[in-house]
């Protein structure tokens, strides 16, 4: 796997100017850019996807669909028609909604969001009635049954997921990743980029440590280079 596909940058910004600044800087190190609710709501899906494509990037449409099966299916078909590399659906929408997404994914990859990495153990109990790890495994099994390409989970769940051989074929994309030199922000169940990849993450999603790096690190390009180096070391010195 190309080293550039190991990092997906979360473009949690509110306007296209910031996207236009970031993509050319980061493109030597990253191929896929995640656009989430902030940019999708401010600018709109078709505009954002076309804008990123014109700058040479691929899009991970982080729309986190969570609705009835028919609506999720129609939204998935629309996402796929825009030519996004990947998009996602909350596993909590249920197996039928995920089946509907998988049927309508076209050439895009569809991922199931398991338990948000910002949710602490106490809240996982309140929301799901079970520990986060147990819920993630159940959601991952549902995703596999439904025909999803992969899941989104915390890197802290990778070890236990790795023990479920039937889930081996699922892509495991992990946000909640923080280099040692960055602040944790609102993320709770976190790991460093190198550790996440070593634990079995297919790719890591990283936003603020790259888009708003601490002063001592420098600019977004410095941050992404450091993270790529760390990942390369975790993979035993692989180069991009
Ligand atoms: O800035 P940061 O690295 O925390 O960005 C992480 C990104 O991943 C955010 O865009 C967030 O919406 C997304 N995400 C997450 N946890 C999930 C699913 C998506 O943090 N479980």
Region 72-100 average pLDDT: 98
pLDDT band at 237 (very low <50, low <70, confident <90, very high): confident
Q: Is residue 187 over pLDDT 90?
A: no
The pLDDT value recorded for residue 3 is: 96
- CA distances 40 to 19, 109, 186, 207, Å, are 12, 19, 21, 16
- Out of 117, 127, 139, give the residue to mutate to test ligand 1, the one with the largest number of ligand atoms within 8 Å of its CB: 117
Q: How far is the CA of 74 from the centre of ligand 1 (A)?
A: 24
Q: Is the pLDDT of residue 240 over 60?
A: no
Answer whether residue 239 shows pLDDT above 70. no
Give distance in angstroms: CA of 34 to centre of ligand 1: 9
Q: What confidence score (pLDDT) does residue 144 get?
A: 98
Alpha helices per DSSP H over 27-131: 37-43, 45-54, 69-81, 95-103, 121-128
User: Which of 34, 190, 207 to mutate for ligand 1's pocket (most ligand atoms within 8 Å of CB)?
Assistant: 207
pLDDT of residue 92: 97
Q: How far apart are CA 16 and CA 227, in angstroms?
A: 25
Mean pLDDT of 84-96: 98
Instruction: Give the closest residue to 115 by CA, choosing from 130, 101, 135, 95.
Output: 135
- In this prediction, residue 189 carries a pLDDT of 79
Across 180-198, b (16+ Cβ under 10 Å) vs e yields: eebeeeebbbbbbbbbbbb
- Taking only the tens place, the pLDDT of each residue in 19-49 is 999 999 999 999 999 999 989 998 999 999 9
Q: Is 64 a catalytic residue?
A: yes
- Whether 7 shows a pLDDT value over 90: the answer reads yes
- Residue 186 has a pLDDT of 86
Confidence band of 79 (pLDDT split at 50, 70, 90): very high
User: How many residues are given for the chain?
Assistant: 240
User: Would the CB of 12 count as within 6 Å of ligand 1?
Assistant: yes
How do residues 49-63 score in pLDDT, each as one tens digit?
A: 999 999 999 999 999
Reported confidence tier of residue 118, pLDDT bands at 50, 70, 90? confident
> To the nearest whole percent, how much of the chain has pLDDT over 70?
99
Atom of ligand 1 nearest to the CA of 176: 20
In this model, does residue 233 exceed pLDDT 70? yes
Q: Which of 17, 50, 58, 64 is catalytic?
A: 64
pLDDT, tens only, 160-172: 999 999 999 999 9
Output the CA 183–ligand 1 centroid distance in Å.
14
Ligand 1 atom closest to 185 (CA): 4
With the most atoms of ligand 1 within 8 angstroms of its CB, the residue from 175, 206, 214 to mutate is 175
Expressed in angstroms and rounded, the spacing between residue 176 Cα and the centre of ligand 1 is 6
């Amino acid at each position: 796997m190309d080293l550039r596909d190991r990092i997906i940058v979360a473009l949690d910004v509110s306007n296209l100017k910031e996207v236009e600044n970031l993509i050319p800087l980061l493109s030597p190190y990253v191929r896929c850019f995640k656009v989430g609710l902030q940019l999708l709501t401010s600018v709109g899906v078709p505009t954002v996807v076309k804008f990123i494509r014109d700058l040479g990037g691929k899009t991970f449409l982080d729309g986190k669909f969570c609705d009835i099966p028919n609506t999720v299916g129609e939204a998935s078909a629309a996402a796929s028609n825009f030519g996004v590399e990947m998009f996602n659906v909350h596993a909590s929408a249920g197996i039928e909604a995920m089946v509907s997404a998988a049927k309508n994914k076209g050439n895009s990859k569809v991922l199931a969001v398991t338990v948000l990495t910002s949710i602490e153990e106490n809240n996982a109990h309140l929301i799901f009635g079970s520990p986060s790890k147990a819920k993630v495994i159940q959601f991952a099994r549902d995703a596999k049954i439904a025909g999803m390409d992969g899941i989104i989970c915390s890197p802290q769940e990778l070890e236990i997921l790795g023990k479920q051989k039937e889930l081996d074929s699922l892509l495991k994309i992990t946000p909640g990743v923080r280099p040692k030199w960055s602040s944790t922000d609102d993320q709770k169940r976190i790991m460093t980029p190198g550790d996440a990849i070593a634990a079995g993450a297919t790719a890591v999603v990283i936003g603020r440590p790259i888009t708003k790096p601490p002063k001592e690190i420098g600019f977004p390009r410095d941050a992404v280079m450091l993270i790529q180096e760390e990942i390369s070391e975790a993979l035993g010195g692989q180069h991009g």
